[in-house]
Amino acid sequence: MSRIAIIGGHGKVALHLARILSDRGEAVTSVFRNPDHAHDVAATGATPVVADIETLDTTGIGELLAGHDAVVFSAGAGGGNPERTYAVDRDAAIRAIDAAGAQGVERFVMVSYFGAGPDHGVPETVPFFHYAEAKAAADAHLRVSDLAWTVLGPSGLTLEPATGLIEVAPASGGSTVSRENVALVAAAALVDESTIGRTIEFNDGTVPITEALAG
């Protein structure tokens, strides 16, 4: 049994992931900001931990991660406020990466988005620009760390139920993936060493997840 910390534990992907990991026998700690969400998180089988990563320093985040085998970063400011977007999606993510390294938590899975990177191409006039910039910086920091990292790049997210089928390939216009499939991909990546050191962009598709990740 592994101990896995999920940062951003009340997000829709994170709630699915906590349930999937708990059901397969992992010990899951879910970190989230709002204490009102504790019941939702506990219902997944995870241990709820209320903490605000936006305000915690690297040492404080490290205290949350101590003793875990892996971290999944699935937090986000939710857009709309550039300052909070940079504070959570960039700065807190970077502190979490550094904290994992300091605590000896070698495995780190980052939930990013399809097309993230310094050449994201999002115009500065578009609100999404700040998120794109923040994720590019956080993903880059993870890639140059000493951690056993994986960056996941799902395309447009939907609330459709999981199919367990994806495609790992360049997206065509309008491509989407269900949040529950994203959670299944994250869970599969945690136990598939071939995903270490890879950026995996994916959509809903026709190939079983384990096969698609290995391919």
| Domain locations along the chain | 3-214
Give the C-alpha separation, 179 to 126, whole Å. Answer: 24
Lookup result for tokens 């937090």: 75
pLDDT of residue 174: 64
Per-residue pLDDT of the chain (215 residues; tens, 9 = 90+): 899 999 999 999 999 999 999 999 999 999 999 999 999 999 999 999 999 999 999 999 999 999 999 999 999 987 779 999 999 999 999 999 999 999 999 999 999 999 999 999 999 999 999 999 999 999 999 999 999 999 999 999 999 999 999 999 866 556 999 999 999 999 999 999 999 999 999 999 999 999 999 97
pLDDT of residue 80: 76
Residues 6+ apart with CB under 8 A from 122: 128, 129, 132
Architecture of domain 3-214: 3-Layer(aba) Sandwich (3.40)
Give the C-alpha separation, 168 to 201, whole Å. Answer: 6
Lookup result for tokens 């923040």: 134
Give the C-alpha separation, 75 to 37, whole Å. Answer: 14
Give the N- to C-terminal CA distance of the chain in Å, as an integer.
26
